[in-house]
Amino acid sequence: MARVLIGVSGGIAAYKTVQTARLLIGAGHAVRVIQTPNSRRFVGTQTFASITGAPVLCGEFEDDPLRGAYPGEPVGDRAPITHLALAQRADLYLIAPASANTIAKLAHGLADNLVTTAALAASCPVLVAPAMNDRMYAHPATQENLTLLRARGTETIGPETGELASHGEYGAGRMSEPEQLLAACQRLLTPTQAGWNGVRVLVTAGGTREPIDPVRFVGNRSSGRMGLALAAAAARRGADVTVVAANVTLPAPPGVRLVAVQTAAQLLDACQARFDAADVLLMAAAVADFRPRAPAAEKLKKTQNPPTPPVLELEPTTDVLQTLSARRRPGQVLVGFAAETGDGALAYGRAKLTRKRLDAIVVNDVSRAGIGFDSTENEVTIVTADGDEALQRAGKDAIAERIIARIDKLLSDGGREDSVAGAGPNRTPGV
């Protein structure tokens, strides 16, 4: 999708950059990494080379075996100037972590290592993720350097407040988490498109928890990553996005409203309050089908030896998607998600598509290792009345982009033909 150059300066937060590189690659981007000599004290070049599938450079005059190419591209026919080629060809340059020393060099145009030299040569957006001790971050020199960088158009993210590298220390200076860095990179790589301006999107994400007692619950392992990726993809197109998030701890994408809920009943109430105004519903949350009929008011105790397990009587929850579908208005597009296991997943998805009067349903097999719940990758099939589209394993951000592209066609077509006449709101058919 895009070429991302990552510059790593010296700091213990470099371990987070390894996961950031992995997330960017999972989102479909080609990644190259360059390092300062000091950064190798924290993460070696071989670690980044293994993640990206490309050699890591640490010096301005070091030969690049790929001759400036990014993974997936053919090797050039000539040897370029190393410290210029990668930066000149990048669509985004992320410097993470950016130490106080590196920030000072960037602010004053110094170029005494490959990371800072590449910054001067980069014509693409540059994103800087500060990471340092809280006292170094609060120093007037560091604050003035960051102000100067921002005034020149350099983007910054963080730092956050939390535990720092020095044992027992806490404060502002902690580098942003990899998921936050990915979201910021995606925002810079995908300029807002006007095609979805005025389109109101309602997304559900995460997994509901149905209480057994004040401590325990019946739930699932959904992290909300897929729902948040969908929300981010819609927001990048200019949509007005609201996420009803069930027990999601991941940060919300930029420009997205988040409504936090816990149970299936709370999720239903939140969706019903917003559904009529929505043009698109993306029902990505894993909603419990059953809940304890009579949750205990106090924590259940072991009262016998050996303890006798209590009998847990369940009752069905209200089918949120079925309830919303029954009151859909002309022009709305409804997309369901079916997390299944084993054979028969697609057949079940097609039946659900018809039964709940949906425009599309996204089916995946969560029993397969490395995809689905609490994973950065997914592999799904988009089922519509026109047929199935299988999306091969990729990062959830890349999968979300493909799903949103399919929904774009549904919006242009005006949703289900048996319930809609004309195009969706603020849309022209075929746009």
Based on the residue annotation, tell me whether 364 is a catalytic residue of this protein: no
210, 290 in Cβ contact below 8 A?
A: yes
CA gap 389, 120 in Å, rounded: 44
Tokens 């209480």, located at residue = 211
C-alpha to C-alpha distance for 216 and 170, rounded to whole angstroms = 31
DSSP result, 390-418? EEEEEEHHHHHHHHHHHHHHHHHHTS-TT
Give the integer Cα–Cα distance in Å for 259 and 280. 17
Active-site annotation holder among 220, 247, 364, 378? 220
Q: Residue 138: what residue type? A: A
Question: Is residue 316 within a helix (H) or strand (E), and if so which, with residue range?
Answer: strand 314-316
Angle between helices 114-121 and 100-107 (to 10 degrees): 40
Helix, strand or coil, per DSSP, at residue 41: helix
- Residue 238: is it exposed, middle or buried by C-beta count within 10 angstroms (0-12/13-18/19+)? middle
What single-letter DSSP state applies at residue 57?
B
Active-site residue set: 220
